[in-house]
Structure 1
């Protein structure tokens, strides 16, 4: 008997190729890593396709950055697994990785000698500035969902202060946040917060 993969969000179960191409599109047009991809993933997967809710997107990003590896790859693999099991995880991860592999191979083969050219350096300066804006947008979107209640806002502000001013390691703060979250945000069996 085939085990049913649990679904979430409002959409029907996507096809494997649909998963592959959704993550391929996201990865192909994003420069700057996982945080920069958050607005695009949210627009594509939550807003347009309904595969995940906004809250689930934030949860997957939190989990994706809490485990070793590249955030965007972790998130795509988790979503692929949740929607279609191991095959979905493989297709989503392959879609996320394919554009980067192609670009890295092209850069290594043809463009590495042009990196020191002034025009290329200016272009990268502009790209870096745009990436900062995308990261700020991702922080804003995640913050609206994650710190919408007073205890969550307190945890977020305290964590920020402890990292910036106290020099605490982020892993310790994630563990501390998990403990506080389990105390303040318990859910009953039906899924409603207590």
Structure 2
């Protein structure tokens, strides 16, 4: 369940993969929605689902950040330069995720209405009525989402490079929480 100096725990692994799949899904849905016509059945349904999942992802990301700060971070593998690049890459990934979600929220609340999350609850509009709010937030949302996808692709390529070329356990540690426990048991003997 918990992180260690040798690997990621189950909670961190679930946060990582659920976030990754959700972000990719939201990007695909958002891109698909831009081509919907007014009479398409998903013209209203698509944005509602997109916003609802986006708000849930925002809450999960905030919980993930808290988790990240209270749990140890596994020792990075690779050169000093790779370690610094990985650290900066993770910071930029988190920043872009937050920028995408906050700008999406600002698009959705520009008219002063809150965001209904699958009809379960509503997130109130805290900031609205700014000049060109929806348009400016929409541009930020789009370009930040594109940058996020590019950085995420680089993140995945780096993980594959570590796994296949360098033969590090970076990818294995993000797939198997038991690997972390095995590494800790070996280190304690």
TM-score, normalization by structure 2: 0.29
- Of the two structures, which has the highest relative contact order with CA contacts closer than 8 Å and spacing of 6 or more? 2
